[in-house]
Amino acid sequence: MHYAIMSEDIPDSLEKRKAARSAHIDRLNKLASQDRLLVAGPHPAIDSSEPGEAGFSGSLVIAEFDSLDQAQAWADADPYVAAGIYQRVVVKPFKRVL
């Protein structure tokens, strides 16, 4: 089943994001290589695909896991969590229709 992992950044997270980005992307690439990643990306803090110094307000990952518990464990182990970037992470089942 797919799960949506919706994360909200702390204010002014851009520098922390830059420092932890490589490890964060490596985990997403692993899911993609296993054909389990549906979509992943950040929410720009402003109405622009390139927000520059405005940075990002959070992220969305939709991926396949065997259970909600596994999705939550994967989200909890995110390098962005360890780096203190996310102030809130919500994991919910996601039903793909289209």
pTM of the model: 0.95
Backbone angles phi, psi at 49, to 5 degrees: -75, -15
Q: Which two tokens stand for residue 9?
A: 């950044």
**Longest distance between any two alpha carbons in the chain, whole Å:** 37
Instruction: For residues 27 and 11, give the distance between their C-alpha atoms in angstroms, rounded to a whole number.
Output: 24
Alpha-helical runs (H) found in the chain: 14-33, 68-76, 79-82
Q: From first to last of the 98 residues of the chain, give the pLDDT tens digit.
A: 999 999 999 999 999 999 999 999 999 999 999 999 999 999 999 999 999 999 999 999 999 999 999 999 999 999 999 999 999 999 999 999 99
Contact 88, 7 (CB under 8 A): yes
Torsion of CA 54, 55, 57, 59, to 10 degrees: 160
